[in-house]
């Protein structure tokens, strides 16, 4: 069996890594530091999958998560990657 790319699975919400510039804007918008954010572990399958796909380390990055099945139609969430 070939390995499934979970980033493409329809039940997995879209995960986008914020660029450093976006991070600054984002943190400014909510007037917070990284430490006010919800967390996601770097051992989380989706983080591992993205790291493997893009060949980067996500530790310390902020991930934007877009959920299409939320009550608002599109729910945006952010998580801070820890190990």
Partner 1 sequence: MNEEDIVLFGPPKKIKEIRFALLSPEEIRRMSVTTVVYADTYDDEGYPIMGGLMDPKLGVIDPGLKCRTCGLKFGECQGHFGNIELSRPVIHVGYAKEVYDVLKATCKDCSRLLLPEDRIFQYKEKLREEGVRGSIRENIISDILNEAAKKKGVLKDNKCPHCGSEQLKIKFEKPTSYKEGDKKLTASDIRERFENITDDDAYLVGWNPETARPEWCILTVLPVAPVTVRPSITLESGIRSEDDLTHKLVDIIRINQRLRENLDAGAPQLIVEDLWELLQYHVTTYFDNEVSGVPPARHRSGRVLKTLTQRLKGKEGRFRNNLSGKRVDFSARTVISPDPNISINEVGVPEFVAMELTLPERATIRNIERLRSLVRKGAFTYPGANYIIRPDGKRKRVTDITSDILAEELEMGYVVERHLQDGDIVLFNRQPSLHRLSIMAHEVRVMPYKTFRLNLCVCPPYNADFDGDEMNLHVPQTEESQAEARILMRVQEQIISPRFGEPVIGGSQDYLSGAYLLTKKGRMFDKNQLAQMLYVSEIDCETPEPAEIVDGVPYWTGKQIFSLLLPNDLNIEYKSKVCQKCDRCSIDDNKECKFDAYVVIENGVLKSGIIDGATFKARSTCKLLDKLVKDYGTDAGRKFLDSVTKLILWSNCIIGFSTGIDDEDIPKEGLNLIEKVLKDGKDKVNKLIDLYREGYLEPLPGRSVEETLESRIMQTLAESRDKAGSIAERYMGMDREAVVMARTGAKGNMLDLTQMSASLGQMSVRGNRLHRGYFKRSLSSFGEDDVSAEARGFVSSSYKKGLNPKEFFFHAMGGREGLVDTAVRTAQSGYMQRRLMNALQDMSVRYDGTVRTNDDIIVQFKYGEDGIDPAKSTYGKAVDIDWIIHKVLKSGKGA
- Give the burial string for 21-53 (b: 16+ CB within 10 Å, else e): eebeeebeeeeeeeeebeebeeebebbebbbee
> Does 57 engage in binding with partner 1 (CB under 8 A)?
no
User: Which among 4-12, 15-23, 28-36, 47-55 is the span making contact with partner 1, rule CB under 8 A?
Assistant: 28-36
What's the token pair of residue 49?
A: 């999958």
Candidates 5, 36, 56, 68: give the one binding partner 1 (CB under 8 A). 36
User: Which among 8-16, 17-25, 27-35, 48-56 is the span making contact with partner 1, rule CB under 8 A?
Assistant: 27-35
Binding site for partner 1 (CB under 8 A): 30-33, 35-39, 67, 70-73, 75-78, 82
């Amino acid at each position: 069996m070939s390995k499934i790319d979970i980033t493409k699975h329809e039940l997995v919400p879209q995960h986008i890594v914020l660029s450093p510039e976006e991070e600054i804007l984002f943190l400014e918008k909510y007037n917070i530091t990284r430490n006010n954010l919800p967390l996601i572990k770097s051992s989380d399958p989706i983080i591992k999958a993205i790291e493997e796909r893009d060949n980067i380390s996500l530790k310390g990055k902020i991930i934007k998560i877009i959920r299409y099945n939320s009550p608002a139609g599109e729910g945006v969430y952010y998580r801070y990657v820890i190990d």
